[in-house]
Amino acid sequence: MNSKRSYWKLILASAGVGLLITNCTIKSTSDDGTCTVGSKKPGCMCPGSTIGSQTCLADGTYDACVCPSGNNGGSGGSTSTTGGSTSIAGSSTTGGSTTAGGASGGAYTGGTGGATVNEGGAAGTANIDPTDCGACLATLCPTQWAACEADNETSSSSGEYCLSKNTDGTGQYERIIKCVDGQRASGLVKRDVVRGCGVTIGASPDADLISAWAPEGMAPATTNLLNCMADAPGAQPASWANDDANYPLDKDNVPQPAPWAAGTCAKLACTSQITN
């Protein structure tokens, strides 16, 4: 990215600071509001961590998830993360396992004080709690999540690590997600803000976006986990942050961050809006 476009994204990233408040209503802002009747959208989760698809209905919303072998998503149920997993913001984690409530038509019962959740952009996605970024990563990015858990203060020689062993907030992932969560009251958190929180490792969303991704000092486990969270399925690693195609110019030649890709935790659970 050239410095002019990067500087603009620095200014854009500074908009809005919010607080993550319990007992709030959380909703995902749909990228385009409607869909084309008959079109299919892949990316919804099915039992056994398989991927299904949804069909656009006549009223412009997506039908329930259709899974391989006829196992349809969107029904009640639960799933547990890998043993020892610890989720961070908005979690409903106890004793090393996380249970995500079953969904019907995209409506969920949240894991934070009974908050009501509406995942408008991913109706029928099974077993993904849109309040719980950590649980989503443990489900959709299990290898990267396990590596992040293993990279803690007891295994670090540099003093920087992905996830604190006692979830005390000192891990790089914890600091970055706290920074992202602080912006969610203002709306759906876009790529430039997540990148800002990442390049400063949680210090500020108002980062100097000219800085290279991944930034110096970021642990490999942190980099890999964030790339898995945000990259479109099958994309080259770090394309969410470094590919100009994800920051296209509008008619006024101003970069506009592209919507999060379907099937990513950035879309499903990690950047949705938080409102009172």
- Using H for helix, E for strand and C for coil, what is the string for 137-204? HHHHCHHHHHHHHHCCCCCCCCCCCCCCCCCCCCCHHHHHHHHHHCCHHHCCCCHHHHHHHHHCCCCC
Convert the pLDDT of each residue in 161-182 to its tens digit.
Answer: 999 998 899 999 999 999 999 9
* pLDDT tens string 221-265: 999 999 999 999 999 999 999 999 999 998 998 888 999 999 999
On the question of pLDDT at 96 being above 50, the answer is no
3-state secondary structure string across the chain: CCHHHHHHHHHHHCCCCCCCCCCCEEEECCCCCCCCCCCEEEEEEEHHHEEEEEEECCCCCECCCECHHHCCCCCCCCCECCCCCCCCCCCCEECCEEECCCCECCEEECCCCCCEEEEHHHCCCCCCCCCCHHHHHHHHCHHHHHHHHHCCCCCCCCCCCCCCCCCCCCCHHHHHHHHHHCCHHHCCCCHHHHHHHHHCCCCCCCCCCCCCCCCCCCCHHHHHHHHHHHCCCCCCCCHHHHCHHHCCECCCCCECCCCCCCCCHHHHHHCCEEEC
pLDDT band at 39 (very low <50, low <70, confident <90, very high): confident
Domain ranges (residues) in the chain: 3-275
Tell me: the pLDDT tens digits for 108-141? 233 333 333 333 334 335 588 888 999 999 999 9
The sign of the torsion formed by the CA atoms of 69, 133, 219, 7 equals positive
Q: What is the pTM of this model?
A: 0.57
